[in-house]
Structure 1
Amino acid sequence: MSKLGTLGARLHRGEIGYDFVGKRFIWYGISILITITAILGLSVRGLNMGIEFEGGAVFTTEKTSTSVSSAETFAEEASGHDAIVQKLGNGGLRIQISGIDTAKSDEIKQALAKDLKVDSEKINADLVGPSWGDQVANKAWQGLAIFMVLVVIYLAIAFEWRMAAAALVALIHDITITVGIYALVGFEVTPGTVIGLLTILGYSLYDTVVVFDSLKEQTKDITKQTRWTYSEIADRSINGTLVRSINTTVVALLPVAGLLFIGGGVLGAGMLNDISLSLFVGLAAGAYSSIFIATPLVADLKEREPQMKALKKRVLAKRAQGETPVAAQVSDEQPYDDEDDDAAPAVVGPRNQPASRNRGRGRPSGKRR
């Protein structure tokens, strides 16, 4: 851990760094490939929508010896629709059937009681009408759209429109990947999934805003100097916050991984999967997009400005003359001033004072008289 802390300090001071912006087209290609895969999975397999969105019924039984596979067969025969059956901790079953007419729920309930050999009075039925499910879906999409608009407006005011556009692209990237993985895995989409999506979008924005804030501070009066291009300073901003982003992402992923792999996989608590999968995938995708997508995209947009193009020409011309070392780094506290470029190099190490000819003259000898 001490080595990681030392590495973070050296990255923050600019002593070492990785060229994230320079290799941005590699990251863009990886993201496009993953996004296309997610879109294909969504188009081919589609989403497994829960009854909250499609309408249907959930039947909960008391303790029974019937297996999950047998219960699925009985439920599909009784309803004519696909069924999802989960084993509960008390030995009972949770049978979810989407897309059925709620008027047929009593008929399905009687058939299940007969097949499962349980009392029909002890089977609880929760019904959701299709119109209510449509309202939930519409409200979810409206909430997501409002969230996106507010984010863009805030970032445009707090930073600038280029950063707002880059953050929006990163958010769409994270949502597409998360939804695509849901389609490929086949997990059920519930209101918990929507909550998870909104949560990871906020987390993704947190990471992105941290990098943007560092970038904003380091690019003040950038055109008054001839040492660094905008892309190089953007690279420094990423490196300066890299270890913090990794640490916060790992700490956030650990409990979510416990919910997904232990709670949902080992313990069989399938109802945790809907929210834990969206959180796990979204947190990882959000950390990736804030480092590899959002900031390099801002650098791309800024480098197209006439001022930044002119700055880049001046920087490259000065480096061609050998006046500015390419490998040098600028500290966070160092102001951008052209006067510093021609200043004499500072003396490093102890300074040797010349011996004085009159040293010791007039000093008391310390002898007693």
Structure 2
Amino acid sequence: MLYFPRWKSFLIWVAMLGSIIVALPNALTDAQLKSLPSFLPHHKMTLGLDLQGGSYMMLKIDRAEIVKERVETYIGDIRSRLREAGVRYSGLAGSGQQVQVRITDPAQVDAAKKALNELLQPISTGTVMGTTIREATLEEPETGLLRIQLTDDGINYRLSSAIGQSTEVVRRRVDELGNTEPLITRQGTDRIAVQVPGLSDPQRLKNLLNKTAKLTFHMVDTSMSPQEAANGRPPATSQVLYGASDPTTPYLVEKQALISGENLVDAQASFNQQSNEPVVTFRFDSRGAQRFAQATQQNVGRPFAIVLDDKVISAPVIREPIVGGSGQISGSFTVQSANDLAVLLRAGALPATLTVVEERTVGPSLGADSIRAGVIAGIVASLLVIVFMLVFYGFFGVLAIIALIVNILMTIAILTMLGSTLTLPGIAGIVLTIGMAVDSNVLIYERIREEAKSGKSMIQSIDLGFNRAFGTILDANVTALIAAVVLFYLGTGPVRGFAVTHAIGIVTTIFTAFTLTNWLFAEWIKLRRPKQLPGGIRTGIFDFTGVKFMGIRRWTFTISGLVVLGSIVGFGLGGMNLGVDFKGGSVIELRAKQGDANLADLRTRLDSLGLGEVQAQNFGDANSVLVRIAAQGGGETAEQTALTKVRGALENDYEFRRVEVVGPAVSGELSQTATIGVLGALVGILVYIWFRFEWQFAVGAILATIHDVILTLGIFVVSGIEFNLTSIAAILTVVGYSLNDTVVVYDRLRENMRKFKRMPLADLIDLSINETMSRTILTMVTTLLALIALYLFGGEVIQSFTFAMIAGVVVATFSSIYIAAPILIVFKMRPESVDDASGKKAAKPADVSGGAKV
């Protein structure tokens, strides 16, 4: 493995230089990028909303609203068709997904069925395959009673069409705001995800997205006063609507629209030349202009109402025919409200109302703070790991540091090329890579040291060290990669960002550990031709020999069992401090605009809003406050209503730095997805270890991992630290780390089982743990150094994430020794004692191990 032809060396240099060139733009300002030659890459990683500020919203179309709209459409169609056919009927009404009508003359039932047959014809779904669906079926439960049932397939088709149309309308509305690089994507069957970086006014965006923007023009009914109609019974052809600016003002308008906003081709905010008030001018297409001209010609002197989403914007009198196809809408507009209305009209109407079921907003100042905290945490973690490696490995530590720097550069370069979004948990993934990447180097170095101590030459030791460490490193990293992949597919938003950076870090670690580090060793040997290990390697202080770890396995099993049972009982009785991700509600981070935050005054204001359980506490410093609002009853819109009240009460005195709002439907789905994610990762790892080892190893690894997950959850129960979506990412990473540690022990145990076929299993396990203890300690310390730096300097937002990982690393190290290994004895991997051919007991490990213990 120490021979590298020139072409391999060339490719390694190309990979390193290419990574530097691709990653370089991320360290430059926009002005510096412009000065670079055009042939060099200019693309940077996209910063997530938690780093640059902005808003993420999940919008949902209510299926019930689609059903209601379709039922009303069928009622209207049935009425018109039966009238055209001269069929007498009664009791035309809709309920749920069905419409029924009674034909009063039994002799006309067949004629009624024939008239309604057109409504039952299959409709095309518009796909390439020419698929059709039947939207409604007709049945006659009793003579003369016709019942039309809307099918689920038909409703699903209408819902899908509404989502597709709404996605485009939302995209046009967001684009009209002029924000850079908004991301609008369809999510599932009934949702749209909207991500707008750098958005400074999320409330304005919500106002634009919440409005259906169905614009219609109606004649005002002057046959009776609006007040009389509102208090009594309006004419059958008219309805009472209320004003948009003054909701107490009623208007009696005809139900039939003269013209709708579908015929608009343009709408702009401007000023009335006479009154200098903001107005909205509009222009129709040719068909709309013709219909508008005809309507105004026939109704000169009569008032007509301009209606937006069932609210009357204005009701001017038609002074003269409007034949130019254009006009203006006046009302109590501000400049911004006129602009917003023009945006809505230009973008078109939504087919149904969109409800915000999840919102995550980060202010630009908090984003800048997060970047600063992430960079500081990364620098501190790097320095700690570098110092640690230099102290304990000397020259070998220098080689590991070179590999680590290249590893980080390659990770950033790949993220840049993929166009990935870097989030704060993504930075945490890079910091974690810093801590865990040296694990591969430690495995190789300890193997080299072990071979050298057994008397082999330097070249043989290095060659065998790389060869024998390869399988262990591969198994350990693949198990961690499985957890990262599951996290990516089942996670959302920032959690996915962590999964991506962690997965890329695992892949680049394998490359730098085996290809780059191997090449560095080859170049060192070529230049220096060493005969022995270089000075400065001090890891021998962690060498263990003859320690009987399995001698206390019954005690450790008992203690672990009691702690696990206590964690389960605590979880059942007290539960965890669940964040809004899992129980719904709102989390708002505020910063006082002047001076320190007054918690007493803040709580008084919030209590007066009638929002139920509200908590307010200092967050980080004296002028920052974290407000938690319990989930509101009353459906998906209740959370947004509560947030609007809080904004109205506090926005004059406080800056809204971060807002997280999760509705009940989303929180339930996140809980389910999180559970499936952990179980899916465990199953995937079980299959892999079963494939690579024997079934006892797979069962032992999974039981040890379950032990680690339960204890980590127990730490959340005892500490009361908030358990949120990033905590799931932490647990899955602990799963990967736990398996990493366990696989290292298992791999050495499997190797020793081949060497010492007659040794009792307990002694074999003790021997294997002793030989790998130096690696276990070194890896745990380097990982903890990086995590502690992340916990202390990474900011408040991810403290629960790093706390869980710190606890998980300690628990995982314990379980790899005292849970995963002794379980093999329970499952009788090998009999407790093995006799040799002469009938004597097999030698103890100290007599047969031969080589040095590492």
- With the shorter chain as reference, the TM-score category is 0.7 to 0.9
Whole-Å Cα distance in 1 between the matches of residues 707 and 655 of structure 2?
48
Other structure's SS at 2:547 match: coil
Pairing partner for 1:219 from 753, 762, 766: 753
Deviation per CA, 1:148-169: give whole Å up to 9, x if none.
1111111111001101111111
Match of 1:20 in 2: 549
State the shift of 1:40 in Å. 2.6
Distance change (3 Å), C-alpha of 1:73 and 1:176: farther
Other structure's SS at 1:95 match: strand
Whole-Å Cα distance in 1 between the matches of residues 716 and 762 of structure 2?
35
Whole-Å Cα distance in 1 between the matches of residues 696 and 538 of structure 2?
33
Deviation per CA, 1:307-362: give whole Å up to 9, x if none.
x36x524499514xxx95775241369xxxxxxxxxxxxxxxxxxxxxxxxxxxxx
State the shift of 1:91 in Å. 3.5
The code of the aligned residue for 2:815 comes to S
The code of the aligned residue for 1:229 comes to P
Any conservation in 1 of the 2:591–2:624 contact (CA below 8 Å)? yes
State the shift of 1:68 in Å. 4.2
Match of 1:103 in 2: 638
Within a 5 Å distance, the mapping from 1:109-120 to structure 2 comes to: 109-110=644-645, 113-114=648-649, 116=650, 118=652
Whole-Å Cα distance in 2 between the matches of residues 250 and 272 of structure 1?
21
Other structure's SS at 1:318 match: coil
Pairing partner for 2:727 from 185, 190, 193: 193
The code of the aligned residue for 1:87 comes to F
Match of 1:258 in 2: 789
Other structure's SS at 1:83 match: strand
Distance change (3 Å), C-alpha of 1:318 and 1:7: farther
Q: Name which one, 1 or 2, has greater alpha-carbon Rg.
A: 2
Any conservation in 2 of the 1:57–1:100 contact (CA below 8 Å)? no
Match of 1:330 in 2: 849
State the shift of 1:110 in Å. 3.3
Q: Does 1:94 align with 2:613?
A: no
Within a 5 Å distance, the mapping from 1:108-187 to structure 2 comes to: 109-110=644-645, 113-114=648-649, 116=650, 118=652, 126-187=660-721
Whole-Å Cα distance in 2 between the matches of residues 128 and 250 of structure 1?
38
The code of the aligned residue for 1:331 comes to G
What is the TM-score normalised by the length of structure 2? 0.34
Other structure's SS at 1:188 match: coil
Any conservation in 2 of the 1:84–1:95 contact (CA below 8 Å)? yes
Distance change (3 Å), C-alpha of 1:185 and 1:318: same
Deviation per CA, 1:81-102: give whole Å up to 9, x if none.
2435443669443323231244
Any conservation in 2 of the 1:88–1:94 contact (CA below 8 Å)? no
Q: Does 1:244 align with 2:792?
A: no
State the shift of 1:250 in Å. 1.2
Any conservation in 2 of the 1:17–1:239 contact (CA below 8 Å)? yes
Match of 1:59 in 2: 588
Deviation per CA, 1:241-298: give whole Å up to 9, x if none.
01110110111112322343x348xxxx432222011101110000000011101111
* Consecutive unaligned residues in structure 1, runs of 5 or more: 334-369
Any conservation in 2 of the 1:155–1:163 contact (CA below 8 Å)? yes
Whole-Å Cα distance in 2 between the matches of residues 70 and 314 of structure 1?
81
Residues 43-52 or 179-188, more deviating? 43-52
* Consecutive unaligned residues in structure 2, runs of 5 or more: 1-391, 393-535
Whole-Å Cα distance in 1 between the matches of residues 726 and 704 of structure 2?
22
Match of 1:83 in 2: 615
State the shift of 1:111 in Å. 5.4
Any conservation in 1 of the 2:577–2:723 contact (CA below 8 Å)? yes
Any conservation in 2 of the 1:71–1:85 contact (CA below 8 Å)? no
Match of 1:231 in 2: 762
Query: How many equivalent residue pairs?
Result: 312
Match of 1:365 in 2: none
Other structure's SS at 2:775 match: helix
Match of 1:358 in 2: none
Match of 2:389 in 1: none
Other structure's SS at 2:840 match: helix
State the shift of 1:186 in Å. 1.0
Whole-Å Cα distance in 2 between the matches of residues 207 and 109 of structure 1?
49
The code of the aligned residue for 1:216 comes to R
Distance change (3 Å), C-alpha of 1:69 and 1:299: farther
Whole-Å Cα distance in 2 between the matches of residues 297 and 286 of structure 1?
15
The code of the aligned residue for 1:43 comes to G
The code of the aligned residue for 2:539 comes to G
Any conservation in 2 of the 1:76–1:83 contact (CA below 8 Å)? no
Match of 2:826 in 1: 300
What is the TM-score normalised by the length of structure 1? 0.74
Any conservation in 2 of the 1:61–1:94 contact (CA below 8 Å)? yes
Pairing partner for 1:312 from 834, 845, 850: 834
The alignment's C-alpha RMSD in Å is 3.2
Other structure's SS at 1:17 match: coil
Match of 1:287 in 2: 813
In percent, how many aligned pairs have the same letter? 26
Distance change (3 Å), C-alpha of 1:47 and 1:18: same
Within a 5 Å distance, the mapping from 1:268-283 to structure 2 comes to: 269-283=795-809
Distance change (3 Å), C-alpha of 1:195 and 1:238: same
Match of 1:364 in 2: none
Other structure's SS at 2:550 match: coil
Match of 1:35 in 2: 564
State the shift of 1:104 in Å. 5.6
Any conservation in 2 of the 1:45–1:184 contact (CA below 8 Å)? no
Residues 60-69 or 140-149, more deviating? 60-69
The code of the aligned residue for 1:290 comes to S
State the shift of 1:4 in Å. 5.9
Deviation per CA, 1:99-128: give whole Å up to 9, x if none.
1244264456435754x5836996875432
State the shift of 1:206 in Å. 0.5
Distance change (3 Å), C-alpha of 1:60 and 1:6: closer
Distance change (3 Å), C-alpha of 1:181 and 1:72: farther
Distance change (3 Å), C-alpha of 1:325 and 1:301: closer
The code of the aligned residue for 2:762 comes to S
Whole-Å Cα distance in 2 between the matches of residues 122 and 151 of structure 1?
42
The code of the aligned residue for 2:558 comes to G
Any conservation in 1 of the 2:591–2:655 contact (CA below 8 Å)? no
Deviation per CA, 1:178-206: give whole Å up to 9, x if none.
10110111111111100100111101101
Q: Which has the higher strand share?
A: 2
